[in-house]
Structure 1
Amino acid sequence: MPTIPITANYRRHGDDWAVTVRTVDRSLATTAPGLIAARLQADQLVDEISEGHADRTVVHLLDGDAVAFSRIYLRTRHGLAVPDTRKAEPSTPHDQAIEV
């Protein structure tokens, strides 16, 4: 049987973290109160979405970026401050016009 490619994409959702686990034809999502809890939830969703298939590859992403997820996750695991990854909204119409 071929390897099942799976992505787990994390993003901030207010004070919580949302995670969406996807295969080519299926998607499951949940939220959790912290990144560590979201990572644990992702593992459960991976088990569910892969239907027990042992030959699977999971890539964890933070807003689509695997390196960013690894950096933030490791900081969190070591109790270091986690920078806010959300993009700030432009404060004035002028700022909106010049952003690219």
Structure 2
Amino acid sequence: MFEPILANYTRDGDDWKVEVTGGDEVLTATAPGLIAARDQADQLAERIAPGDQPRTVVHTLDGDALGFTTAYLTARLATPPPGPPPATDEATTA
């Protein structure tokens, strides 16, 4: 019987912890943001099921797949905080 791999994400202070489970194998990693944690989950899933294509991974945030999708899309689509304006070269603007 086919069994999907489960990737569950939880906050760990300022970081994210991801636990990837497939069959009897459980691997964990910590990353500085949700996007980086998602990348870690892909790498761990590859270690659990090397070469399996297609590979089904269910991503959850504290057990909630919709919660993960919402948080991940928010992180992906968020605009970076405003920084200082780019420096201009006075020689090219004159």
Q: TM-score, normalised by structure 2?
A: 0.78
Q: Name the structure 2 match of 1:45.
A: 44
Measure the CA separation in 2 of the matches of 1:77 and 1:40: 13
Is 1:26 matched up with 2:25? yes
Measure the CA separation in 1 of the matches of 2:50 and 2:28: 16
Measure the CA separation in 2 of the matches of 1:49 and 1:32: 19
Residues 67-89 of structure 1 deviation map (CA, whole Å, 9 limit, x = unaligned): 00000100010116xxxxxxxxx
Do 1:3 and 1:57's aligned partners in 2 also have CA atoms closer than 8 Å?
A: no
Gaps of 5+ in 2: 80-94
The amino acid that maps onto 1:12 is: R
CA separation of 1:55 and 1:78: change in aligned 2, threshold 3 A: closer
Measure the CA separation in 2 of the matches of 1:40 and 1:61: 14
| Cα RMSD, aligned residues only | 1.7
Measure the CA separation in 2 of the matches of 1:78 and 1:10: 19
Measure the CA separation in 2 of the matches of 1:4 and 1:51: 15
- SS for the counterpart of 2:38 is helix
Residues 36-63 of structure 1 deviation map (CA, whole Å, 9 limit, x = unaligned): 0000111111111112222421100000
Measure the CA separation in 1 of the matches of 2:50 and 2:42: 12
| Aligned pairs for 1:3-82 within 5 A | 3-79=2-78
Shift of 1:16: 0.2
Measure the CA separation in 2 of the matches of 1:4 and 1:45: 16
